[in-house]
Amino acid sequence: MARLTWHAHSCFEYQTTHGKILIDPFLSDNPKADVSPDELDQIDAIVLSHGHGDHWGDTVSIAKRTGALVVAAYELAQLAMEQGCEAHPLACGGGHEFPFGHVKLVPAAHGSMTEADPKYSTTACGIVITADERVLYHAGDTALTADIQLLGRLYAFDCACLPIGDNFTMGPDDALHAVKFLEPKLVVPMHYDTFDLIAQDAEAWKARVEGETSTQCAVLTPGESVDF
């Protein structure tokens, strides 16, 4: 069983039989979020793709309240520890088996500033989570890269969360190329419509994905879940 719930932007709750993982918890300052940080419970881990404010978000308050382990690139994990959280550092390319699943950070082409404390810079990453024999890819804020093609060769993805918002990340055209590289069973668009600058027609993108590939596309509304 794997259930993915979108809380708008790039924030997902990912529930498997091994536990619940929260990815990129940008909630309090997210105009489209359907929950406040205080409403999330029984979180085993918070996994971060990179250090921008719209991904780091409410990491510290949620981790302190729930006891969730912060799993992130070394510098972000260090910052989380400085701010009183428990954290596990990974580096891009490295993975670790946790009770809640195997988490690996993979390359992403994107900015490296840590907005919560600019004295740290970090590595922007994508995330691969393997649990319940299912493989989930959360691309973070990446551009389309040849690395995505490599990931498609290495993994049989059950689900991929891809940004389609353009301007700061891949836009719809490049995200469609990414679907063709990754060949996931399911794709969920993210990082769009949060602000006017990244407004996109996700239903039109879904039609292109399902017309040109064999991947199913789930366009979620904030708070909605998909099982796979």
Binding stretches for Ni ion (CB under 5 A) = 52, 141
Q: Least distance to Ni ion from the beta carbon of 123, Å?
A: 12
Nearer to Ni ion, 135 or 178 (CB): 178
Closest distance of CB 87 from Ni ion, Å = 20
* Residue with the CB atom nearest Ni ion in the bound state: 52
Cβ closer to Ni ion: 15 or 49? Answer: 49
Q: How far is the CB of 52 from Ni ion (least distance, A)?
A: 3
For 74-108, b/e burial (b = at least 16 CB within 10 A) is bbbbbbbeebebebbbbebeeeeebebbebbbbbb
Residue closer to Ni ion, measured from CB, 2 or 144: 144
CB of 108 to Ni ion, least distance (A): 9
Our CB check for Ni ion shows the closer of 22 and 48 to be 48
Rounded least distance, CB 14 to Ni ion, Å = 20
Contact at 8 Å (CB) between 207 and 164? Answer: no
**What does DSSP say about strands 2-6 and 69-73: parallel, antiparallel, or unpaired?**
unpaired
Measured in whole angstroms, how far is the alpha carbon of residue 78 from the centre of its chain?
20
Q: Are 184 and 212 in contact (CB under 8 A)?
A: no
End-to-end CA distance of the chain: 7
- Whichever of 52 and 134 has its CB closer to Ni ion, that residue is 52
User: What CA–CA distance (Å, rounded) separates 136 from 103?
Assistant: 10
- How far, in Å, CA of 104 to CA of 123, rounded? 13
Query: What is the closest distance, in whole angstroms, from the C-beta atom of residue 112 to Ni ion in the complex?
Result: 9
Q: Name the residue nearer to Ni ion (CB basis): 16 or 200.
A: 200
Torsion of CA 20, 24, 3, 190, to 10 degrees: 180
